[in-house]
Structure 1
Amino acid sequence: MRGWKILGLVAVLLICVGIAFAAFAWRPEIAAIDVTAQNFDPALVKKGTELAAVGNCIACHTVPGDKAFAGGLALPTPFGTIHSTNITPDPETGIGRWSEAAFLRAMREGVDRQGRHLYPAFPYDHFTHVTDDDNRALYAYLMTREPVKATAPANDLMFPLGFRPLLAGWKLLYLDDGPFRPDPKQSEEWNRGVYLAEGLGHCGACHTPRNQLGAEDKDRHFAGGEAEGWVAYAIDEASPAPTPWDKAALAFFLRHGWHEKHGVSRGPMAEVTGNLASLPDSDIEAIAIYVASLIGKPETQRQAAVQETAAVTTVAARDGSEAQGAAIYESACAMCHESGRPPPFGGLDFRLSTAVNSPNPQNIVNVTLFGLPPADGEASAMMPGFAAAFSDQQIADLLAYMRQRFSGKPNWEGVAERVRKTRSGDYKVAVRPADGIERAPQNVGAKE
């Protein structure tokens, strides 16, 4: 009898815990509004246009070739596939009946109008820091887009993650909600950079490694991560860039999408720099000031090491090599990358390449296979892909030669297998083509 009493007590405790958690996780529905009754100040919409560019909203909420912001894009995660939602003002399938209060709650707390918890693939752990005024502008911008009737496919997640109330527990652990609070010890420009980069810009969503529950590792902020089959390089003191980044280089890169000592943006970052083109110079400068403060001051010893490597590899180039990798490089790469013509219209000197010097070869595998397609409607860097020209082993030999010649660092392991999996799509996270154009068929702001 005593055993049954204990089991009964445990059952009662579990029921109480379940009821308490259900009460904690529950969020009320916010009443729908009449979308036709809303009028927005054009100045507020213009401000929202710039903010949407910072957030790169169009990238995740647009399927290649479909209407902007209509959702439905598959977002692979370690836990399954999530499909982005329709954020056009369609009253039936979009957010057309969302009030401003409902939009604010989604941004601040990760809860939709109906009271359902949103998955953190929507980076509300960053968006929570956005001010009410900026959320109001974003709301005005989205509510003045073209309404599109489109329902996203159902998510395909491992059990039991389809049960959304569980997300309340994730938020309890990892969501520090509330608007951004400036640091009074820092400059106004630095604080503006933090607000943009850590809030709407959600830079850490890609550039910070994640733990087993999919949350950013706050102790390794900006230490490098992965995004859709690409490496998001460390942008702290551990940055693998051969030439250290400084404020001027960061600002130029964010504004133009390339830098003569750092190459061109590609993959998900190409979408970011493409959308940032509509921002005022002051905001670009602020982001650069903040990120440069995390990277630290350029090290003269590091710069000297790059110059020394350049001298050594120049001699190696004169000596030549009969290895297959060297032969492929001379026939397929040297014409552009040793032309002396700087980016974006000439190939980057590989001694300056972060991809060649990175501990992870994924980005240079992607670019070698798929190339850099030209940007849509504007002058840009471009490069052919070599997936059809060379075998997996030939590309691996090429990259091994480049790694040895231009970085002098230890060889990468398993490159041929990585090339095979990237080419075939066997990696769980799909590789986005190098310029990201088809993920963003139209940019926000001035390019919309």
Structure 2
Amino acid sequence: MLRWWLLALATLVLVAIAGFAALAWQPSLPPAALPVTAFDPSLVARGRDLALIGNCNTCHTQEGGKAYAGGKPIPTPFGTIHATNVTPDPETGIGQWSLTAFVRSMREGVDREGNHLYPAFPYDHYARVTDEDLAALYAFLMTRRAVRHEAPPPDLPFPLNQRPLLAGWKLLFLKAGSYRPDPARSVEWNRGAYLAEGLGHCGACHTPRNRLGAEIASEHYNGGEAENWWGPPLNASSPASVPWTEASLFNYLRDWDPKHGGAVGPMAPVSHNLSQVGESEVRAMATYLTALMGPPSGERLGRTEAIAARPDAAPDPRLAAGERIYAGACATCHASGGQVPYTVNSLAYHTTLFGPDPRNVIQAVLRGIRPPEGAAGAIMPGYAEMLTDGQVADLLDYLRARFSDAPPWTDLERKVREVREDIPPTSGSLGGAQVESTPDLRRGG
């Protein structure tokens, strides 16, 4: 009887292994030459807008590199993934990819050769995109300048560097099927949901992840992180001191809002890209996202105005050191009542000073702020070489107490040190990577 059970168990194990192997194996698709006939210009133009909404240029262009030629390191909790070359180069890019191969990669996370792709490439969102939009995106990428550039392999430990294991991740977390409109919602809301949940992949940064790196569905838009930045919640738990409206979020997503300021960090290139697409697309995204956050509260706005009107002097002697740093390094611009271009009336308007995570404020103080090259925007010097970890912590203690009614952050000096260690010596700015973009004709660019 024991031998029978052992034989049955061994059979089950072999069947399971064979089943997983069948699931993990993906066929290589035949190489395809670029179409002899040119792509329709209107299709390419549509693909251009979709690529901007998807922020494709930011991830697939390394600093100082050619547009879409890959190589940019994407840090993850498991190691570093390098973005691939998506120019039509036949050897190092996607020049031999058919539309079928491209669609498979976007929806199933499998490249032309049959290799599983790491979900740093957010195909769990792209799976929702329609056939028509994928065809337009394909046309746009296939009409970019071909660049021969081999992206470095992923820097991952064993066994995470074994791509077949990703089949198990997909089995657990990848849901097939394009976006289905909600008939109870408006056309604009559905359009915004389609863009935000699909190509925009907003949840990738604004939803917490589990230990396997997948978004936690039950905590949709409840706050996440990207590249050591905190992604604030985009649902009813948003700590924004000034309630978001459709108009203010539209302004923020495209450029600048007087009540909320402008995007920095990983969000800066997103905003820069969205400034170059049709306004109706961005308005639709703003409609969808503000609906998730709920109607604005007048009480919250009144509370923020009261905080902004407080006197600047620190009431607590323990905050005096931070108050002096603020007075010497920050007040010239931030105490101007919004008179300095691209500053809000008060730091009390900034969501991050009310949030549970201080990393965004630390990043701003250490790195500084400048807009993407060729764009107008906020400029702030970085203080990484002028302030010690303790001084930055003192400054943040003061800012939190002076410009919010939230409890103090804890263990700030350690958190400052960790963020500082993550900043390269020749770091750029909060404006994000300088990437190729289509000229913005509205600004004469």
Aligned to 2:222: 223
Does 2:231 correspond to 1:232? yes
Aligned to 1:369: 366
Does 2:317 correspond to 1:323? no
Q: What per-residue deviation string (whole Å, max 9, x for no partner) do you get for residues 182-222 of structure 1? A: 11111110000001100000000000001111111111111
Aligned to 1:282: 280
- Contact map agreement 1:208 1:223 (CA 8 A) in 2: yes
* TM-score, L = length of structure 2: 0.94
Distance apart, 1:179 and its partner CA: 1.2
Q: Which residue of 349, 353, 356 maps to 1:356?
A: 353
- Contact map agreement 2:32 2:96 (CA 8 A) in 1: yes
Q: Which moved more, 1:409-418 or 1:46-55?
A: 409-418
Q: What per-residue deviation string (whole Å, max 9, x for no partner) do you get for residues 411-432 of structure 1? A: 11111111112112289xxx97
- Contact map agreement 1:325 1:399 (CA 8 A) in 2: yes
Does 2:435 correspond to 1:441? yes
C-alpha change, 1:318 and 1:44, in structure 2 (3 Å) is same
> Tell me, what secondary structure is at the counterpart of 1:35?
coil
> Tell me, what secondary structure is at the counterpart of 1:82?
strand
Distance apart, 1:162 and its partner CA: 1.9
C-alpha change, 1:209 and 1:38, in structure 2 (3 Å) is farther
Distance apart, 1:319 and its partner CA: 11
Distance apart, 1:348 and its partner CA: 5.2
> Tell me, what secondary structure is at the counterpart of 1:34?
coil
Q: What per-residue deviation string (whole Å, max 9, x for no partner) do you get for residues 252-302 of structure 1? A: 11121x211112200110010000011111111100100010000011222
Percent identity reads 49
Kindly provide the amino acid, as one letter, of the partner of residue 294 in structure 2: G
> How many Å separate the matches in 2 of 1:344 and 1:172?
50
Q: What per-residue deviation string (whole Å, max 9, x for no partner) do you get for residues 65-113 of structure 1? A: 0101111111111111111111000000100000011111111111111
Does 2:31 correspond to 1:66? no
> How many Å separate the matches in 1 of 2:381 and 2:122?
34
Aligned to 2:268: 270
> Tell me, what secondary structure is at the counterpart of 2:237?
coil
- Contact map agreement 1:193 1:286 (CA 8 A) in 2: yes
Does 2:395 correspond to 1:401? no
Kindly provide the amino acid, as one letter, of the partner of residue 290 in structure 1: Y
Q: How many residues are matched?
A: 441
Aligned to 2:150: 151
Alignment of 1:109-188 (within 5 A): 109-188=108-187
C-alpha change, 1:39 and 1:395, in structure 2 (3 Å) is same
> How many Å separate the matches in 2 of 1:161 and 1:73?
20
> Tell me, what secondary structure is at the counterpart of 1:76?
strand
> Tell me, what secondary structure is at the counterpart of 2:74?
strand
> How many Å separate the matches in 1 of 2:203 and 2:123?
12
C-alpha change, 1:322 and 1:244, in structure 2 (3 Å) is closer
Q: What per-residue deviation string (whole Å, max 9, x for no partner) do you get for residues 224-246 of structure 1? A: 10000111111111111100101
- Contact map agreement 2:372 2:434 (CA 8 A) in 1: no
C-alpha change, 1:213 and 1:130, in structure 2 (3 Å) is same
Q: Which moved more, 1:208-217 or 1:416-425?
A: 416-425
> How many Å separate the matches in 2 of 1:432 and 1:411?
29
> Tell me, what secondary structure is at the counterpart of 2:311?
helix
- Contact map agreement 2:24 2:164 (CA 8 A) in 1: yes
> How many Å separate the matches in 2 of 1:315 and 1:18?
66
> How many Å separate the matches in 1 of 2:97 and 2:12?
39
- Contact map agreement 1:49 1:445 (CA 8 A) in 2: no
Distance apart, 1:308 and its partner CA: 2.7
Kindly provide the amino acid, as one letter, of the partner of residue 129 in structure 1: R
Aligned to 2:105: 106
Distance apart, 1:115 and its partner CA: 1.4
- Contact map agreement 1:62 1:69 (CA 8 A) in 2: yes
Distance apart, 1:333 and its partner CA: 0.7
Gaps of 5+ in 2: none
- Contact map agreement 2:369 2:379 (CA 8 A) in 1: yes
> How many Å separate the matches in 2 of 1:204 and 1:193?
13
> How many Å separate the matches in 2 of 1:283 and 1:154?
35
C-alpha change, 1:251 and 1:408, in structure 2 (3 Å) is same
Q: Which moved more, 1:136-145 or 1:103-112?
A: 103-112
Does 2:293 correspond to 1:295? yes
Distance apart, 1:124 and its partner CA: 0.5
Kindly provide the amino acid, as one letter, of the partner of residue 301 in structure 1: E
- Contact map agreement 2:308 2:347 (CA 8 A) in 1: no
Q: What per-residue deviation string (whole Å, max 9, x for no partner) do you get for residues 290-331 of structure 1? A: 0010000011222222233234x2374699998211111111
Name which structure has the greater RCO, CA cutoff 8 Å, separation 6+.
Answer: 1
Distance apart, 1:24 and its partner CA: 2.1
Q: Which moved more, 1:173-182 or 1:301-310?
A: 301-310
Q: What per-residue deviation string (whole Å, max 9, x for no partner) do you get for residues 328-366 of structure 1? A: 111111110011235753355111111211111000000
Q: Which moved more, 1:359-368 or 1:320-329?
A: 320-329
Kindly provide the amino acid, as one letter, of the partner of residue 349 in structure 1: S
- Contact map agreement 1:260 1:343 (CA 8 A) in 2: no
Distance apart, 1:25 and its partner CA: 2.3
- Contact map agreement 2:207 2:222 (CA 8 A) in 1: yes
- Contact map agreement 1:260 1:344 (CA 8 A) in 2: no
Alignment of 1:9-88 (within 5 A): 9-35=8-34, 37-88=36-87
